[in-house]
Amino acid sequence: MQILNLHSLFSSTVHSDVFINNLSLPGDESQMMLDARTDIRTRLRDELPKRLREALEDAGAAPRPRFFTQGSWAYKTLNAPCKEPQQADLDDGTYLPFSYIESAPPSEMSSILFNAVEDILGELGVEKGWTLVTENPNCTRLEIDSDKHIDVPVYSIPDTEFALLTKAAVALESRGIAMDAAAAIDDNWDLMPTHGVLMATKTNGWRDSDPRPVKDWVNNEVGIKGEQLRRVMRYIKAWRDHQTWDPDKDPKSILLMVATAEAFDVSVHGHDDVALAKVCERLPEILRGKVINPVTLDRPTDKQEDLAARLDRDGIRDLLISRMENLSRCINHAIYECGDPEKACVILRSEFGIRLPNDPNRVVVESVKAVAPLATAAAKPVGDITAG
């Protein structure tokens, strides 16, 4: 029996035109987002203390904020937009000490912080030609391009934790390190607060919302299961982005990532096509049940978050499962049944889009003992990769 080795269409040490590379933002666009993040941080670092003193009628010193980038950018699962109106997203948290909560009633202080950040970024947006988006009550958004935005949530952390960040910056300055000491400790997640993180909302006071556990979970899963898991997560997200969903009713990234991690088979080494096929075979059954947010597993059962519950609220559980079953059949057919590299490329691109290379010459035909497709057998022998 002949099967097709499609791995080098997905990832390769030989070819640069591969799916995983094509999912990444081009270097100049990535740098645009990083430069915008620097401008945002600089403006907030300089202006936010002044605005807080004015709002609180306090002539005393106000702390300069610290920053941590979070979300898909931080745990390296960000994909470039597939089509309009999708946008690349960078989440950059702004952190201040708890002592500022006590400067005013909590709900009032939350609004003061949120509105100060919104005003400052609105002014920066006018200068830079960026668009301020204010609909989200949990963060301020600046659209820096038609397909890119930066979200800025605001957090308060224990004074002791904030003091550690400040101490680290002072230590760098005392050692004469030739860099902005404040910037040097930003995004050092070893210094990121591990407890007591509250997020300011525009009108609903403070929320218990800590970005660190999700990042730690992703890193732990990848550390245990390998970088292939991170790539497969990105393939599944890219498949989601290529599909058409009703506005704001697409399955969310965190749900897909957690379900993918549960479905992932660590016994598959090197073959991204087979690893993806095995994940897609198992995802429909996983998505039929609860998908518990791993950062809530240590809570009582009634306090755990079921990430799949939103599928029912949005009315898309059956649609997602049906589409995932079709994806599984397509990948199965491309690897185990069609036998034609050109047809296999057409099949895969119908599900994942044109960012997956159309290069049949790269596909390797392999001879193995007769096996059933993944949909009807749990494990399939696959030889070593011979190309890519």
The answer to whether 125 and 131 are in contact (CB under 8 A) is yes
Q: Is the dihedral of CA 94, 291, 84, 230 positive or negative?
A: positive
Range 235-262 average pLDDT: 97
Percent of the chain with pLDDT over 70: 86
Q: How confident is the model at residue 251 (pLDDT cuts 50, 70, 90)?
A: very high
SS3 state at 137:
coil
User: Nearest CA to 95 among 215, 195, 202, 198?
Assistant: 198
**28-208 CATH choice from 2.120.10, 1.25.10, 3.30.70, 3.30.460:** 3.30.460
Global pTM? 0.90
C-alpha closest to that of 345 among 335, 232, 387? 335
Domain ranges of the chain: 2-18+212-376, 28-208
* Spatial separation of the C-alpha atoms in residues 121 and 43, rounded to whole Å: 8
Q: Kindly indicate the confidence band of residue 55, based on its pLDDT and cuts at 50, 70 and 90.
A: confident
Quickly tell me which residue has 């491309």 as its tokens.
334
Any idea of the CA torsion for 26, 90, 185, 66, to the nearest 10 degrees? 150
Q: What confidence tier does 91 reach under pLDDT thresholds 50, 70, 90? A: very high
Q: At CA 124, angle to CA 121 and CA 127, rounded to 5?
A: 155
> Distances from the Cα of 145 to the Cαs of 25, 133, 382, in angstroms?
13, 13, 44
Query: What integer pLDDT is reported at residue 161 of this predicted model?
Result: 81
> DSSP assignment of 47-109, as one string?
HHHHHHHHHHT--S--PPPEEEEEHHHHTT------STT--EEEEEEEEEEGGGGGGS-HHHH
* Residues 73, 88: Cα–Cα separation, whole Å: 9
Least confident of 25-39, 194-208, 297-311: 194-208
The single-letter code of the amino acid at 260 is T
Across 182-205, average pLDDT: 74
Number of other residues whose CB lies within 10 A of the CB of residue 361 = 8
pLDDT at 28: 97
Res 340: pLDDT: 96
For 131-198, give the secondary structure using H, E and C.
Answer: EEECCCCCCEEEEEECCEEEEECEEEECHHHHHHHHHHHHHHHHCCCCCCHHHHHCCCCCCCCCCCCE
∠ CA(283), CA(287), CA(289), 5° rounding? Answer: 130
Tell me, rounded to whole angstroms, the distance of Cα 160 from its chain centroid: 29
Instruction: Tell me which residue has tokens 């080494």.
Output: 269
Note the pLDDT tens digit of each residue in 319-340.
999 999 999 999 999 999 999 9
Q: What is the pLDDT of residue 164?
A: 77
The per-residue pLDDT for range 98-129, each reduced to its tens digit, is: 876 666 777 888 999 999 999 999 999 999 99
pLDDT value, residue 277: 98
Q: What is the DSSP letter of 252?
A: P
pLDDT (0 to 100) of residue 179? 43
177: pLDDT strictly greater than 70: no
